[in-house]
Structure 1
Amino acid sequence: MSQIELNEKKIQILNVAERLFSEKGFEGTSIRDISKEAKINIAMVSYYFGSKERLLESLIIYKTSDLKLKLENLLQENIEPLDKVNKLIEIYITRISCNKGIFRVLHFEINSKNREKSMAAFTELKKGNLKSVESIIKQGQEKGVFRKDVIIPLITPTIIGTFFHFHMNKSFFVELLNLNTEEMYNNYIKTSLTKHIQQTIKALLVYEN
């Protein structure tokens, strides 16, 4: 299932499902909970998505497929390899920040044997995204800017892992860094955390002077 036809009601259901799955977990949320919260008849939710697993699959595609498009577009941009990687990091951090709910769901569900079918769609998307990341880094390697011994599949986990460690320990960092409002916290992610990740990835990619 690579594309889903969406209408207003389906989007409403998906947004409610994302919030409930992230708050109560996949197992702790029923189709009845979703239909009640979305104020849509339970039969209509089942008609649109068939099952809770299919709903999760649709939610994953809905929330992550635009990242694929952004990476493919970035690949075509005529800019320096390091600028391209910095933009790549900005894209990832922006997407995760805007979709914390679905990434929280994925974090908890990714290793569940019961969810393998739903996760298959996400795995395919990740493979496509990795190809874009590989192409961007290989462009830099061909120009002699990036090291040849980079372990490319570990670049994305380094970006996402750093973000999630920060986000999962939000209260600790809020106190430590005096990020007293949500705006200050989100701004810190956009500026300081993003810059730190860019510097980390640059250190992995670029030859030492």
Structure 2
Amino acid sequence: MKTHFNDKQIKILEVAETLFSEKGFDGTSIRNISKEAKINIAMVSYYFGSKERLLESLIIYRTSDLKSQLDHLIQAELEPIEKINKLIELYINRINCNKGIYRIIHFEFTSKKRSLNHQVFSELKKGNLKSLEAIIVEGQTKGVFRKDIIIPLITPTILGTFFHFHMNKSFYENLLNLKTEDSYNNYIKTNLTKHIQQTIKALLIYES
């Protein structure tokens, strides 16, 4: 599947993302999307073929550039633990700023209602995992990281902590006295991110 889109396609994808997030995939029609995007309904079908293919394109559009960012991180002149910390910052900031698409991904890829092209998204995730693996192997080679790390479980540890916090937003807003959306997002950017970094560091570094 293509990963580069023209301006009209991007407009359609961004409108679809908003509507899928607000109304759900089943509650959104191609007609809804074309009307909101102010583009002829036939043009939406021409570009994407079906609503399912449009959803797949949306996921690729929102996630495909992460690999290049991770590749730049691998090449950076930083110590392995600094790279891991930067990777965690990148993941958390990216998800927190794009909650809509990740909510769509979680629901649609766990739904058995329809058959989406999971292989395309799985290949992206495998590529991102290889980037994480490269950083961890570098740390292991330098004798900084443990040898018994289960690398595929690092990402779900990072994301699972974030999603638990976000899915219980009202509870943590009350518990932590986060009275505004800005204070909530700032807590994620600082305190929650630091907590996740400390957790992952404890998993990676040899005990002193």
Deviations 1:14-68 (A, max 9, x none): 1111111122221222111211222222111111111111111110111011111
157-166 vs 118-127, which deviates more?
Answer: 118-127
1:173 alignment partner in structure 2 = 172
- Amino acid of the residue matched to residue 44 of structure 2? V
Give the unaligned 5+ runs of structure 2: none
Mapped partners of 2:51, 2:70: distance in 1: 29
- Amino acid of the residue matched to residue 56 of structure 1? L
Give the unaligned 5+ runs of structure 1: none
Mapped partners of 1:93, 1:116: distance in 2: 29
Mapped partners of 1:83, 1:19: distance in 2: 35
Mapped partners of 1:177, 1:113: distance in 2: 37
1:204 alignment partner in structure 2 = 203
**Cα RMSD between the aligned structures?**
1.3
- The TM-score, its normalising length taken from structure 2, stands at 0.95
Mapped partners of 2:165, 2:6: distance in 1: 33
- The TM-score, its normalising length taken from structure 1, stands at 0.95
Kept in 2, the 8 Å contact 1:14–1:55? The answer is yes
Of all paired residues, the percent bearing the same amino acid is: 73
How many equivalent residue pairs?
208
Shift, 1:5, TM fit: 2.6
Mapped partners of 2:181, 2:69: distance in 1: 27
2:65 counterpart SS class: helix
1:188 alignment partner in structure 2 = 187
169-178 vs 190-199, which deviates more?
Answer: 169-178
2:25 alignment partner in structure 1 = 26
Kept in 2, the 8 Å contact 1:61–1:122? The answer is yes
2:100 alignment partner in structure 1 = 101
Aligned in 2, Cα 1:126/1:116: closer, same or farther, shift over 3 Å?
A: farther
